[in-house]
Structure 1
Amino acid sequence: MFGLGDPEQKVEFNQFKAYTKELSIYTSYLNPHTTRRAISLLESGAIDTDKIISAELNLEEMGEELKTLKNSRKGKVMVRLSGEL
C-alpha cells in the first residue's frame, strides 16, 4: 500500500526498535512525466487491466485482505473508497 501525509508533518519513530527488529524503510519516487502517458495507454486499451488487477474491493473489505493477502498475491488490488463496486 502507498500513502502520503502532509509534507510539513514530521514522522517520529523509535530508532532502537527499528534496529532490533531489523526494519527497512523505503520511500517511493513518482515520476510526474509518466502519468499522462500511462493514462493514455489505459484509455486506448493498449494495456489489458484484466490481466493485472486481481480484485476490486471496497474499504470495508480491506481489513480482511490485509490479514490474508488472498488477492494481493495474485496481482494488483484496487480499492474503491466510496460508491458501489
Structure 2
Amino acid sequence: MITRASVRRCRVEFHKPLPSVATKRDATTSEGTLEMKPTSSGYADVNGIKLYHETYGNGEPLVLIHGGLTTIGEIQGWCSRWRRRGR
C-alpha cells in the first residue's frame, strides 16, 4: 500500500539524459550531449489524431511510445543502440 509518507520520501528525477553511443550521424551540441538526426519524420493521421513520428535506422520496425513526462529527445539514447538492429 502506498501512503502519503512513502510518496514524500520518493525522489523522482526527470529529464536526465540517457547514455548514447556515438555514431557517424550523431553531432555534439554546445552542452556536450549527443544529438541524433532521424532518417525520416512526419505526421500520421491515426483515428483523427495528428501523430508525430521519427524513424531511425533500417530493417524491422520497433515502436517506442514515450509516456508521462518523457519526451522524444530523452529516448534518443535508446534509439542509437537499437537502430543498428532495426528501425
**Structure 1 length-normalised TM:** 0.21
Write 1 or 2 for the structure with the bigger share of helix: 1
Task: Return the structure number with greater relative CO, CA threshold 8 A, min gap 6.
Answer: 2
Write 1 or 2 for the structure with the bigger share of strand: 2
**Structure 2 length-normalised TM:** 0.21
